[in-house]
Amino acid sequence: EDYQTEAGEGMVVLDAVHAIQAEQAPDLACRWNCKAGKCGSCSAEINGHPKLMCMTRLNTLDLTEPVIVEPMRAFPPIKDLVTDVSWNFEVKKGIRKFRPRAPDAADGTWRMSQRDADRVQEFRKCIECFLCQDVCHVLRDHEDNKEAFAGPRFFLRYAELDMHPLDTSDRRDRAQDAAGLGMCNITKCCTEVCPEHIKITDNAIIPLKERVVDRFYDPIAKLFGFSKKR
């Protein structure tokens, strides 16, 4: 549908959608919660680019042309701008949970280096907007791949847990087999769209791929049959 609305000072795309809802189309469906780039629910495609509607200012767009706002293409549409992203939550449930080693301090707590904490902290910034999932060609262009490919958001989760200094589980077999890490050909489109500026490819996916190689193809580890984690 085509709508026209006033573009006021400082407005973002979500404001324009709300104005259209208020004045012209009360049943226009869109999902949002925080309007501050933190809940991850207002994801859409704006002029073909996966973006948060609440963080895309109208003055960054060419308003001499119509602004095209569409639902994320990688997920089934429910209504208007709302898509069914529940597949992502199912994928997440299949990842082995955090399992910390025994406390190492007398007071029953743990010690970890600041460097290790910083490394996983970047991954904790994810707001689960699923824009990276939407843009990744493995999911975007091939609906069937959802069976075999978890997508960048969950490679990030695998990396977050696998690099956690207190965690004792080994998820590298699952990352490679069930999650399809090998299908990622490092196009880096996921990193480009992440509103939290997480370096998904360089800091999570590539190190995870290296860890998988260490686990399965390290000849010394293979010879003695050992693995760092269980």
The residues binding ligand FES (CB under 6 A) are: 32-35, 37-42, 52, 54
Q: Does 179 bind ligand SF4 (CB under 6 A)?
A: no
Select from ligand F3S, ligand SF4, ligand FES, none the partner in contact with residue 185, using the beta carbon and a kind-dependent cut-off of 5 to 8 Å: ligand F3S
Nearest approach, Cβ of residue 199 and ligand SF4 (Å): 10
Q: Residue 44 pairs with which residues in a beta bridge?
A: 51
Nearest approach, Cβ of residue 198 and ligand F3S (Å): 11
Beta strands in the chain (DSSP E): 43-46, 49-52, 69-70, 77-79, 82-83
In the complex with ligand FES, the residue whose CB is nearer, 38 or 229, is 38
Among 31, 51, 153, 211, contact with ligand SF4 (rule: CB under 6 A):
153
Going by C-alpha positions, the residue among 46, 57, 48 that lies closest to residue 7 is: 57
Q: Which two tokens stand for residue 82?
A: 């709302």
Going by C-alpha positions, the residue among 125, 122, 130, 124 that lies closest to residue 41 is: 130
In the complex with ligand F3S, the residue whose CB is nearer, 33 or 187, is 187
Phi, psi at 149, each rounded to 5°: -135, 120
In the complex with ligand F3S, the residue whose CB is nearer, 40 or 180, is 180
- Residue ranges binding ligand F3S (CB under 6 A): 136, 138, 152, 184-190, 201, 205
Binding track, positions 110-129, relative to ligand SF4; x by CB under 6 A: ----------------xxxx
Among 194, 205, 208, 212, contact with ligand SF4 (rule: CB under 6 A):
194
Looking up tokens 């709302």 gives: 82
Beta-carbon neighbour count of residue 128 at 10 Å? 17
Nearest approach, Cβ of residue 194 and ligand F3S (Å): 10
Q: How far is CA 217 from CA 106, 113, 184, 209, in A?
A: 39, 29, 19, 12
Q: How far apart are CA 69 and CA 185, in angstroms?
A: 29
Contacting residues toward ligand SF4, per CB under 6 A: 126-132, 153, 156, 193-196, 198, 200
